[in-house]
């Protein structure tokens, strides 16, 4: 095992409450872990040294919400939206048709390409959902392929009811045979709780079945309407309520009084011309928030966590420090992970090196590729 000392770190923003931010710092990567970090003048010896020339180092971004196993794209749907059509859940079905028709090799290649994009943008851990198969065989294929790339795999058989299918029959399938086929590859169960997808009672049944099969819940909640998704997520102590675009004061109170993370997905609001979620009020009320990409072919086809951070700052009134925290510590909390999202001795050596002296530049220079290096478990990605 080699130890690499990163020196010349202009700003080390650890996201650790005790360590805070260090200037003129160094960090030792020992195998797949962080072996030491502190003032450059006190750095230990190492097998090799790498001078970062004053750049800023952050924990790798944790993308706790993404839909990455699918075929085809929906560029035409996007173009129609830009000339006035509203986003609805219905577009999902066209991706389902393309995905069912695709061979494993094609789905694997597409997933690999998107994972490479995520890493190039500084993401070191990502969650990946099924939900574009909507039959037992295809859903199982999707979670199996996702599990090749990440331990954070989510069963989203309850994305929408597929065409030409009886609603009650489909719910029975999702809660029964489909769940049993997928659960061995998954850690999480999710449901699209929304008008045009699943109502609260249906969503509760899906999540309870997932919990009974050993999965932990997360919810697509309050994306298009202020429905009951957030309250359901809190009721079931879900790891996260995702989207939170339309929240009532009671939803904000419920999130603030719970361990459920509010996962905000501003790339979707950007790509659907929707109002942004009220991140400021959520944070001020005491809720924990995460930022994630929600990369998917319909509502937002971007893998850029730096752009999500810039939008959160410019459009959602977060400070750059709050946005970076949501994209690191927040994402880790939304995945119930304590080994990632911060930089401290003993944690996994997942790092982003920015081609900038500070993380402020992530919002100050939107759309500019500022990720200089990404390290995952001590290896350059
Ligand atoms: O998170 N809202 C549900 N699922 C995705 C969109 C899926 C699609 O349009 O293909 C989302 O926005
Ligand atoms: Fe989503």
Question: What is the model's pLDDT at position 2?
Answer: 86
DSSP label at 149? T
Q: Which atom of ligand 1 is nearest to the CA of 223?
A: 2
Question: Domains along the chain?
Answer: 3-59+343-380 (2.30.40.10), 61-334 (3.20.20.140)
Q: What is the mean pLDDT of each run of 10 residues along the chain (381 residues)?
A: 94 98 98 98 96 98 98 95 88 95 98 98 99 98 98 98 96 98 98 96 98 98 97 98 98 98 98 97 98 98 98 98 98 98 98 98 98 98 96
- Rounded to the nearest angstrom, the distance between the alpha carbon of 248 and the centre of ligand 2 is 20
How far is residue 115's CA from residue 357's CA, in Å, rounded to a whole number?
Answer: 26
Q: Nearest 5°: phi and psi at 39?
A: -60, 140
Q: How far is CA 18 from the centre of its chain?
A: 25
- Rounded to the nearest angstrom, the distance between the alpha carbon of 96 and the centre of ligand 2 is 15
Which ligand has the minimum distance to the alpha carbon of residue 159? 1
Question: What is the model's pLDDT at position 99?
Answer: 98
Determine which residue's CA is closest to atom 6 belonging to ligand 1. Answer: 299
Cβ contact 98:326 at 8 Å: no
- Rounded to the nearest angstrom, the distance between the alpha carbon of 372 and the centre of ligand 2 is 28
Determine which residue's CA is closest to atom 11 belonging to ligand 1. Answer: 299
Q: At what angle do helices 136-147 and 92-101 cross, to 10 degrees?
A: 80
Cβ contact 210:185 at 8 Å: no
DSSP per-residue string spanning 229-288: HHHHHHHTT-SEEEE--S--HHHHHHHHTSS-EEEE-HHHHHHHT-PPP-HHHHHHHT--
Which of 89, 265, 274 for a ligand 1 pocket mutation test, highest count of atoms within 8 Å of Cβ? 89
Q: Which of 15, 2, 6, 4 is nearest to 338 (CA)?
A: 15
Cβ contact 69:106 at 8 Å: no
Residue 117 has a CB neighbour count (10 Å cut-off) of: 16
Q: Which of 121, 50, 119 is nearest to 371 (CA)?
A: 121
- Rounded to the nearest angstrom, the distance between the alpha carbon of 273 and the centre of ligand 1 is 14
- Rounded to the nearest angstrom, the distance between the alpha carbon of 89 and the centre of ligand 1 is 7
Which ligand has the minimum distance to the alpha carbon of residue 229? 1
Which of 63, 67, 221 for a ligand 1 pocket mutation test, highest count of atoms within 8 Å of Cβ? 67
Looking up tokens 């997905």 gives 265
Q: Which of 364, 355, 238 is nearest to 290 (CA)?
A: 238
DSSP per-residue string spanning 322-371: HHHHIIIIIHHHHTT-SSSSS--TTSB--EEEESSSSTHHHHHSTTS--E
Ligand 1 cavity residues, CB under 6 Å: 67, 91-92, 95, 192, 220, 223, 268, 294, 296-299
Cβ contact 130:312 at 8 Å: no
Q: Which atom of ligand 1 is nearest to the CA of 65?
A: 1
How far is residue 174's CA from residue 157's CA, in Å, rounded to a whole number?
Answer: 6
- Rounded to the nearest angstrom, the distance between the alpha carbon of 129 and the centre of ligand 2 is 8
Question: What is the model's pLDDT at position 87?
Answer: 86
Which ligand has the minimum distance to the alpha carbon of residue 96? 1
Question: What is the model's pLDDT at position 88?
Answer: 84
């Amino acid at each position: 095992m080699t130890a690499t000392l990163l020196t010349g770190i202009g700003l080390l923003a650890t996201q650790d409450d005790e360590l805070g931010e260090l200037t003129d710092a160094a960090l030792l990567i020992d195998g797949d872990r962080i072996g030491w970090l502190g003032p450059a003048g006190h750095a230990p010896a190492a097998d090799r040294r790498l001078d970062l020339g004053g750049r800023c180092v952050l924990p790798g971004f944790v993308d706790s919400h993404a839909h990455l196993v699918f075929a085809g794209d929906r560029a035409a749907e996007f173009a129609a939206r830009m000339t006035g059509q509203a986003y609805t859940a219905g577009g999902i079905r066209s991706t389902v048709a393309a995905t069912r028709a695709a061979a494993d090799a094609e789905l694997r290649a597409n997933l690999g390409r998107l994972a490479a994009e995520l890493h190039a943008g500084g993401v070191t851990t990502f969650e990946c959902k099924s939900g574009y198969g909507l039959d037992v065989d295809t859903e199982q294929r999707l979670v199996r392929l996702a599990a090749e790339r990440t331990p954070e795999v989510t069963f989203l058989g309850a994305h929408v009811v597929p065409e030409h299918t009886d609603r009650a029959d489909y719910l029975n399938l999702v809660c029964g045979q489909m769940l049993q086929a997928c659960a061995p590859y998954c850690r999480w169960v999710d449901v699209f709780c929304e008008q045009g997808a699943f109502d609260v009672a249906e969503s509760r049944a899906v999540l309870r079945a997932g919990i009974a099969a050993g999965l932990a819940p997360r919810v697509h909640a309050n994306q298009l309407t202020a429905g009951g998704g957030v309250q359901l997520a809190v009721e079931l102590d879900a790891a996260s309520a995702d989207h939170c675009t339309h929240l009532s004061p009671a939803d904000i109170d419920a999130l603030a009084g719970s361990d459920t993370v509010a996962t905000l997905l501003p790339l979707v609001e950007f790509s659907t011309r929707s109002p942004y979620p009220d991140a400021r009020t959520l944070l001020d009320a005491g809720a924990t928030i995460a930022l994630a990409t929600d990369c998917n072919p319909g509502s937002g086809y971007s893998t850029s966590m730096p752009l999500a951070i810039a939008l959160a700052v410019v459009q959602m009134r977060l400070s750059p420090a709050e946005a970076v925290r949501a994209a690191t510590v927040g994402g880790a909390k939304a995945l119930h992970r304590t080994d990632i999202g911060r930089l401290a001795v003993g944690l996994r050596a997942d790092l982003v090196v920015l081609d900038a002296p500070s993380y402020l530049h992530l919002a100050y220079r939107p759309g500019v590729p500022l990720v200089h290096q990404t390290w995952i478990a001590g290896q350059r990605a």
